[in-house]
A and B are shown apart, each in its own frame.
Chain A
Amino acid sequence: MLPMMRSQSMKSRRSAEQWLLGSMALALAMAAFIWLVLGPAPAAPAYRTAVVLLVASLLTSLIMMLRVGNTRRQMEAALHGRARAEQHAIEALRHSEAQWKEVFEHNPVMYFMVDAAGIVLSVNTFGAAQLGYSVSELLGQSVLKVFPTEEQPAARSNVAICLENIGKTHSWEICKVRKDGSSLWVRENAKAVRRLDHQLIVLIACEDVTERKEAENALRQSRIYLAEAQRLSRTGSFGWRVASGEIIWSEETFRIFGYDKAPSIKLETVLQRIHPDDRVRVQQTIDRASRDGKDFAHGYRLLMPDGSVKNVHATAHAVADASGGIEFVGAVTDITSRKRAEAELHEAQANLAHVTRVTALGELAASIAHEVNQPLAAVVTNAAACLRWLDREPANLKEVRSIVQSIVEDGNRAGEVIRRVRALVNKTADQKAPLHINEVVNEVISLVQHELFSHRVALRLELAPALSPVLADRIQLQQVILNLVINGIEAMQPVKDRPRELVIRTRQDETGQVLAMVSDCGVGVAAENADRLFDAFFTTKSGGMGMGLSICRSIVNAHGGRLSASGNAGPGATFRFTLPLHQEDST
């Protein structure tokens, strides 16, 4: 509007000048005429002068008027052109404004303009539509209307912050609520500006980030689940880039190792926590893994700062990273409570084994009495012989000396039997040591002679000489063999038509383990019972508790061996168990 008004006033000023010049020439012509007509004396020269002047004035005014008219036309033409240009410009402006308006209204960004009190001054159609409103429903309303109650304080304070820092852009993420009550997450950019009329307004542009937010939430949720799962399963995860030595731990791994969370951790820090007795072994495993780039698994203990010990088990999978280097991804599990449960189970089994051992010894009482009685009889007889040699004239001291030597040996032998019995009765903790299985077999059969005899069982030993030692608990191994021997003797009780023979064999098997076999020619193993033989409380005997074989199996398993039973080709059954050889570096 303003430029149009200015061009009109310019045009009128120009025509006024033209009129003034024309009028001045006309006035001069009029004055010359009047002087000619009304002059005092029409003197010839003066008259002519006056006529000339008149004509000249008329001519001048005519020319002037023509010129002025020309100029005016030119000027008008110029003015007209300008007006048209202005009209074009206005058209263009109007078009552009409409375009921008279009952009403003439909750009997929929500625009709000609110006043200092938070009243919506303007909102774009898209913005309103996104929230499920029409523009008119929002205009003049408090902007808080589109926020859920719990977000309203945040919205209010965000506006306040903008108002405090005029001209500065602030951004935040906030949850909005649609007219239908559903919510959407938006990221808002806002700044406060002062309008020409000095009114403070806040311009807000917001973008729907619900999807991203949901993805983020899902990710966070899954992280929470993972962390929770790790916490519950006491399993932490780790990543280890061998080349850089960089180790990344999960939260649970930090918790297991008792370190504060850190972005990455050094191998030295890890090793520092490992029990000194296990450190060398762990270091070896790690060195080997980093050298070979192969998967590894190992168990070790952690010595915590408070002196407590944790048992952990770690497994790692080797993967090649983008640069071709080796990276291990693994899990570390705190198995302390499992270990403790295992130890408790082990103790319970040991107690049970002890009870059955004592029970077995009770059954062997006659046998044991016999074993003590033999050397005792020899001692008494020898001592009597001694006295008689001493009573002779002269006393035969040479005989006496040799007999006394025998007495000492027999006394020791009786003591040894007592010691073995006591060892079996004792509740000893696991004492694994390298030992020769043939020795153990001989110790056991020394206690069962009476059983063999009273059940009319012949014993045959086929013990391989020079067997390598096994790592075992002597008492537990004696118990296994004792149980198998008694089992064999009892299995042959119904046999009347053939000699009752029990065979104990030892040898080294194909896999290099020590194999011990106890064969009888008794009732054998019914096929349907073969699998249940080793179950606790399974027994085919009227007086049996059904614990013997079950305990034997758990003892053999605890030694890393295997106990199995099978029917013989002929009558009877064979129980066999294996034990791994003792190796110097085994732990």
Chain B
Amino acid sequence: MNGRPASSHTPASAEEPVVFVVDDDASVREALRSLFRSVGLRVEVFGSAHEFLQSTLPNAAGCLILDIRLPRLSGLDFQAELAKADINIPIIFMTGHGDIPMTVRAMKAGAVDFLTKPFRDQDMLDAVTTAIERDRVRRDEARMLSGLHARFATLTPREREVIALVTAGLMNKQIAAEIGIAEITVKIHRGHIMRKMAAKSLPDLVRMAELLGIGPASGGPQT
């Protein structure tokens, strides 16, 4: 069933996905709560952006459904605020009529979708499914990246020098000449690197270096 996105995936995190609803109109947010509950989705509602920011977010995939016209802090400002705070939850905007310019801005700022009130329930659920899926992927990638970073952190300074040159495509001999050590020592460093980074092959290591943003010039991941 389309309406049950949570059940179609193996949970990538400890908790089940959550839908967050921020709307100053109690009727609308309660109606959304009913809708999501009816399809077995975990839902949390907030009357304002402020309330949302005050709450402790569960470590779970999720999405944020936001009314574009919120009092005080508008949906768009809220979106900017979240981006600034590096909260990358996917946002679905709800708009009224005549809010086209705002909708365009929202989409440009990375909104997953926008729905015009009153919306079809299926459209909302589809948007939510997409958003949660996108969040799951994002969260997986983020988790993977953070593992990579952790592994990279175990490398010694010399190993970091070596990995940059290895992934840049230099031969062991060239590397040895570049940094002024014996070729055999380079080989030992490479072995340590492959093990520490849990790389199965050289292409695998190259991909990791790309994700870490390691280039021959930088000598370290760009964070």
* Nearest chain A CB to B73 CB, angstrom units: 10
Q: Interface size (A, Cβ < 8 Å)? A: 31
Residues of the B chain whose Cβ atoms lie less than 8 Å from the Cβ of A382: 31, 34-35
Minimum CB–CB distance from A389 to chain B (whole Å) comes to 5
- Subset of 12 A-B contacts with CB under 8 Å: A369-B97, A374-B28, A378-B28, A381-B118, A381-B119, A382-B34, A385-B35, A386-B38, A388-B3, A388-B121, A410-B31, A452-B71
Docked-complex contact A374 and B98, CB < 8 angstroms? no
* Residue interface mask B1-39, A partner, CB < 8 A = 1: 001000000000000000000000101101110110111
Residues A381 and B96 in contact, CB atoms below 8 Å apart: no
Q: Does B72 contact A (CB under 8 A)?
A: yes
Contacts of A385 in B (CB 8 A): 31, 34-35, 37-38, 121
For residue A458, CB closer than 8 A to chain B, the reply is yes
Asked if A214 is at the interface (CB within 8 A of a chain B CB), the reply is no
Q: Does B143 contact A (CB under 8 A)?
A: no
Given A381-B34, A388-B35, A389-B38: A376 touches B117 (CB 8 Å cut-off):
yes
Interface contacts beyond A369-B98, A373-B97: sample of 19 additional A-B pairs, CB < 8 Å, sorted by A: A370-B97, A374-B96, A375-B27, A376-B117, A377-B119, A378-B30, A378-B31, A379-B31, A380-B118, A381-B31, A381-B118, A381-B119, A385-B31, A389-B34, A399-B34, A399-B37, A406-B30, A409-B27, A453-B69
CB-CB contacts of A359-399 with B at 8 A, as 1s and 0s? 00000001001100111111111101110110010000001
Complex interface: chain A residues within 8 A of B119 (CB): 377, 380-381
- Determine if B74 is an interface residue (Cβ-Cβ < 8 Å): yes
In the assembly, what is the distance between CA of A184 and CA of B74, in Å?
Answer: 100
Report the contact-size class of chain B (Cβ under 8 Å from the partner).
Answer: 20 to 34
Q: How far is the CA of A313 from the CA of B74 in the complex (A)?
A: 60
Whether A160 is near chain B, meaning CB under 8 Å from some CB there, is no
Interface of A is mostly: helix
Among B27, B38, B74, B117, the residue within 8 A (CB) of A410 is: B27
Does A403 reach chain B (CB closer than 8 Å)? yes
Q: Which residues of B contact A106 (CB under 8 A)?
A: none
**Minimum-distance CB pairs A-B, first 9:** A384-B121, A378-B27, A377-B117, A388-B38, A381-B31, A385-B34, A377-B118, A380-B118, A385-B35
User: In the complex the two chains form, what is the Cα distance from A376 to B119 in whole Å?
Assistant: 10
> Known contacts being A406-B31, A453-B71, is A392 close to B118, with CB within 8 Å?
no
- Tell whether A413 is near chain B: CB-to-CB under 8 Å: yes
Beta-carbon contact of A381 and B121 below 8 Å: yes
**Chain A proximity of B77: nearest CB distance (Å):** 10
Q: CA A453 – CA B69 in complex, angstroms?
A: 7
Nearest Cβ on chain A to B72's Cβ, whole angstroms: 6
Residue on A nearest B77 in the bound complex, by CB: A456
B residues less than 8 Å from A375 (CB atoms)? 27
CB within 8 Å of A: which B91-132 residues = 94, 96-98, 117-121, 124
In the assembled complex, the Cα of A413 lies from the Cα of B31 at a distance in Å of 14
Contact yes or no, B30 A374, CB < 8 A: no
Cα of A543 to Cα of B124 in the assembled complex, Å: 41
Closest to A380 in B: B118
A104 and B109 alpha carbons, distance in the complex (Å): 130
A-side contacts of B37, CB under 8 Å: 385, 399
In the complex, what distance in Å separates the CA atom of A403 from the CA atom of B35? 10
Q: What 1/0 flags go to A439-483 for Cβ under 8 Å of B? A: 000000000001011001011000000000000000000000000
Is the pair A453, B35 in contact by a Cβ cutoff of 8 Å? Answer: no
Q: How far is the CA of A370 from the CA of B28 in the complex (A)?
A: 12
Report B-chain residues with C-beta under 8 Å of the C-beta of A406: 27, 30-31, 34
Chain B residue, CB-CB nearest to A414: B27
Chain A residues whose C-beta falls within 8 Å of the C-beta of B72 in the assembled complex: 458
A391 to chain B minimum Cβ distance, whole angstroms, is 9
Residue among B27, B72, B117 with max Cβ neighbours from chain A (10 Å): B27
In angstroms, Cα B118 to Cα A406, docked, is 16
Q: Which residues of A contact B120 (CB under 8 A)?
A: 384
How far apart are B134's CB and chain A's nearest CB, in angstroms?
Answer: 23
0/1 string, B29-73, CB within 8 A of A gives 1 = 011101101110000000000000000000000000000010110
Contact (A373, B27) CB under 8 Å given A366-B98, A399-B38: no
User: What residues on A are CB-neighbors of B121 within 8 Å?
Assistant: 380-381, 384-385, 388
> What distance in Å separates the Cβ of B145 from its nearest Cβ neighbour in chain A?
37
Shortest CB–CB separation between residue B44 and chain A, in angstroms?
16
Whether B96 lies near A369 (C-beta < 8 A) is: yes
Q: Are the CB atoms of A373 and B38 closer together than 8 Å? A: no
A407 to chain B: closest residue by CB? B31
What 0/1 readout, one digit per residue, does chain B (122-163) give for beta carbons within 8 Å of chain A? 001000000000000000000000000000000000000000
Q: How far is the CA of A452 from the CA of B120 in the complex (A)?
A: 28
CB distance from A106 to the nearest CB of B (A): 111
Q: Which residues of A contact B32 (CB under 8 A)?
A: 381
A87 → chain B, closest Cβ, in Å? 138
- Which A residues between 505 and 553 are near B, CB-CB below 8 angstroms? none
Bound complex: CA A376 to CA B120 (Å): 12
- Nearest B residue to A402 via CB reads B34
- Inter-subunit contact B118/A373 (CB<8 Å): yes
Name the distance in Å between B220's Cβ and chain A's nearest Cβ. Answer: 44
Closest CB in chain A relative to B6 CB, distance in Å: 15
User: Which residue on B lies nearest to A409, using beta carbons?
Assistant: B27
> Given the interface contacts A384-B121, A385-B38, A453-B71, does A377 sit within 8 Å of B97 by beta carbon?
no
A377 to B119, CA, bound (A): 7
Which residues of A have CB within 8 Å of B71? 452-453, 458-459
**Which chain B residue shows the least CB distance to A452?**
B71
CA of A459 to CA of B72, assembled, Å: 9
Most buried by A among B32, B94, B96, B98: B96
Q: Which residue of A lies closest to B40 (CB)?
A: A392
Choose among A379, A381, A410 the residue that contacts B35 (Cβ–Cβ < 8 A). A381
B28 A377 Cβ-Cβ under 8 A: yes
Q: What 0/1 readout, one digit per residue, does chain B (170-210) give for beta carbons within 8 Å of chain A?
A: 00000000000000000000000000000000000000000
> Which residue from chain A places its CB closest to the CB of B33 in the assembled complex?
A385
